[in-house]
Structures are given as structure tokens and as C-alpha cells.
Chains A and B, each alone.
Chain A
Amino acid sequence: MNWKMVRTVTFRTFALVAVLCAPRSGRAADAKTPYPSMAPLDEYLMADRNAEIALARSAAPPSISDAATVMVLARHGYETAVQGKNGFVCVVERAWMGPFDSPEFWNPKNRGPLCFNPPAARSILPLTLKRTDMVLAGLSKAQIIDGLKAFQNNGLPPVEAGGMSYMMSRQGRLNDSAGHWVPHLMFYLPLTDAMTWGAGVAGSPVLLNPQFSGAPEPVTEFMIPVSQWSDGTPAPTDMDGH
């Protein structure tokens, strides 16, 4: 990778983060949004269990994900499909793990593979499981937010130093605009002002994920793009074509 390529990836990254962050304008309530409410549950589920396992594993290099626990989405929440032995947990997140005001919150096509390392599996994965449980229980967004706030005060472990996750799948689909986006790592901090870290500013390799950020989860999530997909192939230099 030369520096021109690095710059290209980075600037495309910023542009796409802007895309990811853009939906914070209350448009979820807009009747024109293509995903105004939850679709039939079957549209979120993957009929082929093995395909979901493979997709979840694609988030991290095989040397990590092959030995990971894999959870798949079932009708009442995530369930363990494969018991791993290295402490990592790989899942495919659905659109409802995005910001609550995202117009794609109910997009049934989105698939976000990621593998949590052991500290993140202990302190961040519970948020995925909790949100999903409440979604599948049929709760409203307001009820889910209230449930997450209650979870913070009763049951949610504190963010653990060293917690991180891999999102390096080229088979993922994060939203309609970004597609699989760029391969990246994610690191977690207790809720903080991301600008203090220079996230997203010129010259910074650190980007802010709009997920969580106090709305309502008390977690700040930083993303660091990497140059290769989990299968070892180079990441694209031009993200326009996804």
C-alpha cells in the first residue's frame, strides 16, 4: 500500500462515516423512509444456519474466528451455534444495532459480521444481546431505550480495557449506502467526547462509530480502518463502487 492509497482509503472512510452518521435528523419518523417499521421476522433471519456461521466468522481472520464461539440469530434472540475455545465471539448483527434514529434501523437486509475479543465479549456483546432480545420481544424503540437504560444500572458490565472487535468481512452489508464499507477494528471506551481524541479530524486514523455514543448506551466506539479483509485480500482503494 502506498501513501496515495492510504490517503484515498482514509478520505473515503471519512466520507462514508459521514454517510453513516447522517441519519441523525429525526428522519426515522419520515413516512418516506423505506424502513418505517420492523419487517416480518423471517426477513431478518438467515434460513441457512451454516451460512450465518460462515458470515459471522468472516469478520476476523480465520486464525482467530475458526476457534471462536459463534452465535446466530434465532426467533427469540441469539443462540450459541458453535462453542469456541479462544474466548472470541462472532455474531452477525442486524440493523437494529445502529442508532435509534437511523432510517435503516429496520432494514432487514443489513448484516454486520463482527468478532468480539474476550474483554469485549464480556463487556460489549451483552448490549447486542440485550437490544436484540427486546426487539424480538416486540418492544417499541422507546421501550428498548428505557430497557437499555435500566440495563446500564443493573447488569451491564463496565467497559473493559483491551476490549475490541474485528469487522473485516467483505461479505457484510452494513447499510444501503456503505455496503460492506471498509475493513476495520473497533475499540470501546466509556462514554466520552470523541473529539477529545481527535476522532474524525484531519490527520487522525481514529473514527467515531455513530453506534451507541450515549444514545443510550454509555459507550464510545472508535473505528480504525485496516488495509486488508479478513481473508487477506487488499481492501479497495475506491469505495464508491463498494
Chain B
Amino acid sequence: MRKKIGEILRPGRFDCEKGTNMKLTGLMKTTFAGVLAIGVLSSNTAAQDTPQEPKKEMHLVTASTPREQQIELALSAAPTEVSSKATVYILGAKGYEKAREGTNGFSCLIERSFGGRTQNSSAPACFDAEGSRTLMLTYLRREELRAQGKSEAEIKDDIAKGFQDGRFKVPGPGFLYMMSNENYVYDSESKESGFVPPHLMFYAPYKTAKDPGYESISPTMVPYLTYPGPEGLIVVAAQKPSQDSSSSDSHKH
């Protein structure tokens, strides 16, 4: 099974569609190595092409991760101007718990994905108001079901049914921030997890890969579509001003 280019940027989903265009995996590496020059993907190819930053260690966030640490990490997904006024969810024994109420409509949390019963990613995300009302509810549901011991297959099925029966709604125009330096996600091709650069994800429900044009994209271009369907997203690598206080450079796990 091959993963789509976007999957390396989209934690929270371990199951993926089959028959993915095989050229995209290589493109993924080239894109982030070439455009951002900060690729820290775990593959050998990326490692050879990319100036190396010091290796850092990632500790996957779980329900036992201290509350303040979870909050700090979740807030690192967006600029301080945004995250400082956002609602924050943290992982608890029964799934996500609201740690604080925000005022600007944004919601920040740490997304996770699993391979079977094994967690293989955690990455901070801040949804705008539109996403908080719609797409984010699927994330809350996933963790609720995981806390109940459901399998990833059962969770996938529940989410799909939720879009059919109206429990979940597709988002309108908007986007979510994933600007943290702690985006630690799973790459199913190398079967390893690694850090990926800051990026934005624009809601694009039911759009196709042709909409952002990635099927014929140049090797160094973004954006591209990931997860076509009700949760479709257009991924855009973003240049992050590094002196922003929301940076998680100094984040300690």
C-alpha cells in the first residue's frame, strides 16, 4: 500500500486509499527538501538531499502527557495572535477534554494517528471557526472511540457513517494551522515516523487532485490535495517567521 503525498502531512489517519500514484511519494520528499530545505523525513533519499538539522527526539503525546505540556504544544500550531485566544483540547482518559474556552473561534489540539494499536504520530493543529464546527468534530470522535477501545477500522467506519447520517458536516471555506515545529507524523512507505515542516491545510471537501493541480505539479511546487472526500484538504507548505513566540523550538517534552 502506498500513501499519498499528503498523508505524510496528515496525522490522524492510518487507513488510506489504495492505488495511489506512485510518483507522489518521491515528490513528497523532493518538495520539502527543495522548497523548504528543512526536510527531516526519515527516508534515506530525503536525508541525502537535505541539509540536516540537529536530530531531535519526539515523545508521542498521550493522555498521560502532562496537561500544561499538552496545552503548550497544541498552541504551537498557530501564531500567538491566534492561538492565545483559541479553545484548547487535551487528551484525557475519555478522549479530548476541553482545557480552556477561547474567544476567537479557533480550536487547538494535538492530532494523533495509529497503526493498529500503536500510536505513530502526534501533531498540533489549530482549526479556524469553520473547521471547529465541522471537521474537528471527527477528530474528537476518533479519540473518543479510541478511549473506548475501538479499532482503527471501526473508527474509520464510524466517521464515514457520521458524514452520511449528518453527525458530521463538511467545512466551508477556511483552513487550519499546523505551524508547529513538532509535527511528528507517520510515513507508511518508509514505515517510520518523522518531523515534517510547518504547513497550512485549506478545507476542500469533495475536491479532486486536479483542483490544486498537483497531478501535474512541478517537483518543487505545492500545494496538493490530500484525503479526497468529505475531509479533503489542500496542503500548503508555509514559511514560518522563526522568532514568533508560538514557535515550539524551545518546547521541552
Contacts and interface: CB of A to CB of B under 8 A. Distances in A.
Task: Report whether chain A binds chain B.
Answer: yes
Interface of A: 1-3, 6-7, 9-11, 60-64, 67, 86-88, 117-119, 159-164, 185, 187-190, 195-198, 201-206, 224-228, 232
A3 B213 contact: no
Contacts of A204: 79, 81-82, 241, 244
Contacts of B202: 161-162, 164, 187
Given A163-B173, A164-B234, A205 B198 contact: yes
Interface string B220-252: 111100000000101011111111111100000
A10 B82 contact: no
Contacts, number: 151
Contact of B210 (A87, A163, A185): A87
Interface string B189-219: 0000000001010111101001111001110
B35 A6 contact: no
A51 to B, nearest CB: 23
A197 B127 CA distance: 10
A185 B205 contact: no
Residue in B200, B207, B211 whose Cβ sees the most chain A Cβ within 10 Å: B211
A195 B104 CA distance: 10
A203 B79 contact: yes
B20 interface: no
B129 interface: yes
B234 A10 contact: no
Contact of A119 (B211, B216, B222): B211
A119 B174 contact: no
B221 A61 contact: yes
B242 A7 contact: yes
A117 B240 CA distance: 25
A225 B82 contact: no
B95 interface: no
Nearest to A166: B213
B81 A2 contact: no
15 contacts: A6-B241, A10-B239, A86-B210, A87-B211, A88-B213, A117-B211, A119-B211, A159-B173, A161-B170, A162-B232, A185-B223, A198-B82, A201-B81, A224-B238, A226-B35
A227 B211 CA distance: 21
Contact of A202 (B51, B200, B241): B241
B80 interface: yes
Nearest to B219: A232
Contacts of A60: 213
